[in-house]
Amino acid sequence: MEENARVVVQMGTDPEVFIVERATGRPVPAHRVGFNDKSRKSVAFGTAGLIFRDGYAVEINTTVPYSCRANLSMAIRILLREVISRVGPKYTISTVPTMKIKLPDDLMDAPADVLTFGCEPSLDAYAGQQKPMLIDAMTHDERYIAGHLHFSTIPKYYPLEMSWLSSSEHQRNFIKLCDLFIGLPLTCLLHRPEQYQRRRWYGQAGEYRVQNYGREYCGLEYRTPGADVWNKSQISNMALGIGRLLMRNYTNFMEKWDPAIEGRLQKAINTGEGRFDLLQVLEGFYSPDLIHFVAHNFNFFDLSLVRNSHDHHSGWYEWNQLYTPLRLVNIVKYYP
């Protein structure tokens, strides 16, 4: 589908990471490694970003919107390398979506913000209501991290194309589109038990927030992806590119929406069951056969912190062009 390129879509993210011991892989609470809480966010050197603890984990924020996926990807990796430099040689970071912590030891000296799940409730695109966190941080021995994706624009500049952003019904529909075209393929590519452990409580299909980013930017925060969406620039590039396509062409995509798939879609994302069954053909990004092949032949579980900006520009589309002609000629027939 040809994008409505007249609409400028800005992108951002606020992923979380665990601090882990290099020797054991065991997670440690971020306050023990010196990270401040949300009231004292630290400015990261070399990029427009902030670093702080969000409960047990560390969160990084981009503080400016990006219209270029490669620049956003590079900014995130600068921030992640900064986190690693601050924790010292004994520790590193992990984007595994769920980790088991040691109770009560990990909370013995914890500040108040670490003793609760302090995240504000998400919205549920399917139920049309809030989703509060209903677990007790003092007794629940797992912690979860996410890789939230933000999409925004200035509606007054595009009154015809973006009028839907002011409607809660259309906001929910946009997030459902994100589930089908972003959340589902990511579930296939990042399929592992820790993803579904997380989605029992947090980051389920259809989770989102409405955001006002200032400077008249209005947008939506898609909260379903795990932090491992940032492991490789190829998959974050894919997810962001599709989100931009959906925002620019929301009306066209919704004309083809089938409400009958919603229950199966939620189940596939939340549990992994039937995850390949609803995959779509999205020209320029993927087909079901391509996702199936890539999911079974490539590893997206290891975090890559490449420094070369060219590597960030070589995203999902270019990466697939490299492999498709050589290995998938008879599978992905529509691909150039």
CATH number of the domain residue 302 falls in: 3.30.590
- With beta carbons less than 8 A apart as the criterion, state whether 220 and 151 touch: yes
Is residue 25 included in any domain, yes or no? yes
| DSSP classification of residue 104 | T
Euclidean distance between the first and the last CA atom of the chain, given in angstroms as a whole number: 15
Is residue 320 included in any domain, yes or no? yes
**Structural domain boundaries, residue 17:** 10-327
Is residue 72 included in any domain, yes or no? yes
Q: What is the pLDDT along the chain (336 residues), one digit of tens a residue?
A: 445 667 889 999 999 999 999 999 999 999 999 999 998 998 886 667 999 999 999 999 988 889 888 889 889 999 999 999 999 999 999 999 999 999 999 999 999 999 988 667 899 999 999 987 788 999 999 999 999 999 998 877 888 778 888 899 999 999 999 999 999 999 999 999 999 999 999 999 999 999 887 667 789 999 999 999 999 988 999 999 999 999 999 999 999 999 999 999 999 999 999 999 999 999 888 999 889 988 998 889 999 887 665 556 555 655 555 544 444 444 333 333
Is residue 335 included in any domain, yes or no? no
Is residue 332 included in any domain, yes or no? no
Is residue 4 included in any domain, yes or no? no
In whole angstroms, what is the distance from residue 162 CA to residue 156 CA? 8
Is residue 291 included in any domain, yes or no? yes
In whole angstroms, what is the distance from residue 45 CA to residue 92 CA? 19
Here the tokens at position 67 are 């219209």
Is residue 26 included in any domain, yes or no? yes
Number of domains in the chain: 1
pTM equals: 0.90
